[in-house]
Each structure stands twice: as structure tokens, then as C-alpha cells.
Amino acid sequence: MKLTNEKSRARIRRSARVRKKVAGTAARPRLRIFRSLKHTYVQFVDDDRGRTLGAVSTRSGAFREAYAGSTGTVEAARALGEMAGEMAASLGITQVVFDRSGYRYHGRVKAVADGARSRNLKF
């Protein structure tokens, strides 16, 4: 249990270090990602106003209707990224700042980014 706690603290430290440099605005919000063992969550955040503009996750009903497989996989993360790209288009968002929340840019995190880019979302 202690290892998990240390790993979580290290990720939070990395996330804070990145957040000092990355901020979202109304014109270019921050695309924030969080991943757990079973699910992946994506938010569009306007840091100037402190508001979440939109959010989608593998737990949402819309995602479950569109994707029938397991939720903790790279394929599910790519489908989630595509859904996030479509949500951004409906919100009028064309460019975002990517916040990987201290996670390495590979696996599910990379799949979400690639899926969002496939829906013409610029990073």
C-alpha cells in the first residue's frame, strides 16, 4: 500500500509542476485527463473563470451507448478521445492545451490525444 501512496504523491507532484506552466483560457481551454484502473475521464477547463466547459468519461451513458467493450483499454480511450473531440466541436472549441496530469504520454493518455486529434481538435 505504501508504494501506491508514494506513486500517487509523485504523480501529483509532477502534475503540479506541469500546471504551473499550463493554463486554459476561454479561447483555448485546457483538456485535462484523469485515468483510474477501470475508467478514463476528460474535461475541458477554462482556468480564467475556473469553470469546466464540458466533460466526458468512460462511465457516461453516451459513451456506453457508443462503445460496448471494456472501459480500461487503449481502444476505449481512443473512442473517448473521439467523443471528446466531437464535444469540443459542439462547444465551439477548436484548440486546446493538453494537460496529461502527470501521467506519461503513452497508452491510454496518448490514445485520448490521438482520438481527439482525429476529430480536428488542435493541440
The 10s digit of each residue's pLDDT in 3-60 is 678 888 999 999 998 888 888 888 899 999 999 999 999 999 999 999 999 999 999 9
What's the pTM?
Answer: 0.89
Residue 81 is which amino acid?
G
The 10s digit of each residue's pLDDT in 68-83 is 999 999 999 999 999 9
Q: Where are the domains of the chain?
A: 2-117
Cell of 71: 472501459
Strand (E) or helix (H) holding 11: helix 2-19
Tally of helices (H runs) and strands (E runs) in the chain: 4, 4
Structure confidence at residue 54 (pLDDT): 96
Fold of domain 2-117: Nucleotidyltransferase; domain 5 (3.30.420)
